Structures are given as structure tokens and as C-alpha cells.
Amino acid sequence: MIVDIKGVRKLYQSPEGEIGALDDITFSIEEGEFISIVGPSGCGKSTLLSIIAGLEAPSGGEICVDGSPIRGINPKIGYMPQKDQLFPWRTIWDNVTLGLEVQGRRDQSHQEFVKRLLARYGLAQFTGCVPGQLSGGMRQRCALIRTLATGPRILLLDEPFSALDYQTRLSVADDIYRIIKNEGKTAILVTHDIAEAVSMSDRVAVLSARPGRLKEIVDQPELHGLDPMRRRDHEMFHHYFNRIWKEIDISA
């Protein structure tokens, strides 16, 4: 396994007292696996992702990556936050190489790697543009390429499509799924959209309302390896959708 989450708890202090955000979360993720985390709003999905990213420490339990406990930000992990967070005044090139720049690794071979990614994913002719000149879907691909540029093995995606309209979202989800599979990455996707989770992941982890507890992990063996578009037509799609929907306590 590449990520091992063991008894993770998170408490936040607030003026009204302690808020339990996560309670006793335990599961592990295999190398190359695509897993989604779903659950009602406020159940701790983003909190779990930021703990895996090393941006926050758990209040209890621990997370190991490749057998070592997480201590702060880890170069093996690429984190793509909810908003694409491209800088509007920087060109696409300066945006996608930002992570490399911050890490002092904007050398020739990394630049070549980013150029190949841009070409492969249809963005080569836009490197001199600023983000405002690109569509929402293209900006999302840029955000993913920026995350891939530093060579992480694990990608953390927090509601990456929520700013996109429904049609764009379907095709960008398809794109991003292919990019992640082609590049052989392990991916953890947080979403509140059950159809998105079923259409992209190998397994779906369902959290309860706050404090988030792991209710179930649903494996979808019939859908493994199929593109999101194909899955939406698959006879098992609604079976998994309904099963996960029944698990999520939307009344909370």
C-alpha cells in the first residue's frame, strides 16, 4: 500500500468549543489506485485531504506514505485545491512551472517534461496566454499539469470540477481521469457528487456526517479501467450510485 490511514481523528477549537471534524478514520490505498471520498457537506473531507497533504496535523492517529509517517509537506504528494488557483497575471507557462520554481527545480529536464505534458494534453499553443483567455476546462488541465510537473506519485484532488458547468465537468472529468491513468498516478478525489465518484474511481469511501467516520468503502470491480463516459453507460453504474446514495446521510 502507498497510503495508510490509521485511526485518524481531528478536533478543531472554536469559540463555541471543540468541533470534531474526523473520527477514527482507517483505510489504505494501493499504488495506482483511484479512490474517491464522498460524504455530506462539513463531514471532514477537505480536512482529511489536507492532513494527507501534510498541511495540517491529525489530533490522533497517523498517516503513512510508503511506510513513513507524514511530517509536513511531502514531494511525493501533489495537492490540487478546489479552485484552480492559477495566477491571473502569470502566463500559462509561468503558472504550470510555478511549483518547480518554488522548489528551485525549474531546470532543463523538468521544463522539457512540462512541455511534453502541455503538448500531450492540448495546451502547447496556449503557453503565452494568461488564464483568463482559456476555458474553465483548459484551466483545470493547467492546474493538473502544474501539480504533475513536480513529479508527485500521489495526487490529492479536492472538488476539482465544482467550478465548472455540468457539460464541461463531464468532459474535463474524462480528460483528467485519462491523464491520471496515463501518468500512472495514485489519486484521491474528494467530491460531493456521487456520479463523479462512481465514474472516476476504483473504490469509493463514504464518510458519515460530522464528525466524519468511515461508513463503508464500496469497491466497483465491474467498472475498473473504464473511462468515466463509458461507466455512465454501464449497467452497474446505477447500482453503485444507489448503494452509495443510500449510505450518505443527506439529512445531516
Question: How many beta carbons lie within 10 A of that of residue 168, not counting itself?
Answer: 16
Q: Which residue, 141 or 210, has its beta carbon nearer to ligand ADP?
A: 210
Q: Which amino acid is at 9?
A: R
Q: Does 50 bind Mg ion (CB under 5 A)?
A: no
The residues, any chain, with a CB within 8 Å of residue 239's CB and separated by 6 or more, are none
The correct pick among 28, 46, 50, 91 for binding Mg ion (CB under 5 A) is: 46
Q: Which residue, 19 or 129, has its beta carbon nearer to ligand ADP?
A: 19
The answer to whether 52 touches 3, Cβ cutoff 8 Å, is yes
146, interface contact from ligand ADP, Mg ion, none, CB < 5-8 Å by kind: none
109, interface contact from Mg ion, ligand ADP, none, CB < 5-8 Å by kind: none
Q: Least distance in Å: CB of 46 to Mg ion?
A: 3
Interface with ligand ADP by CB under 6 A: which residues? 12, 14, 19, 21, 39, 41-47, 210
Q: Residue 167 corresponds to which cell in the numbers above?
A: 457539460
Q: Which residue, 14 or 108, has its beta carbon nearer to ligand ADP?
A: 14
Residue entry with cell 444507489: 242
- Cα(203)–Cα(244) distance, integer angstroms: 11
- Cα(133)–Cα(184) distance, integer angstroms: 30
Q: Which residue, 26 or 41, has its beta carbon nearer to ligand ADP?
A: 41
Distance set, CA 218 to CA 25, 126, 197, 223 (Å): 15, 40, 11, 12
Q: Least distance in Å: CB of 45 to ligand ADP?
A: 3
231, interface contact from ligand ADP, Mg ion, none, CB < 5-8 Å by kind: none
Q: Least distance in Å: CB of 42 to ligand ADP?
A: 4
- Cα(32)–Cα(1) distance, integer angstroms: 10
Q: Which residue, 41 or 133, has its beta carbon nearer to ligand ADP?
A: 41
Q: Least distance in Å: CB of 118 to ligand ADP?
A: 31
What are 27's strand-pairing partners? 5
Which residues make up the interface to Mg ion (CB under 5 A)? 46
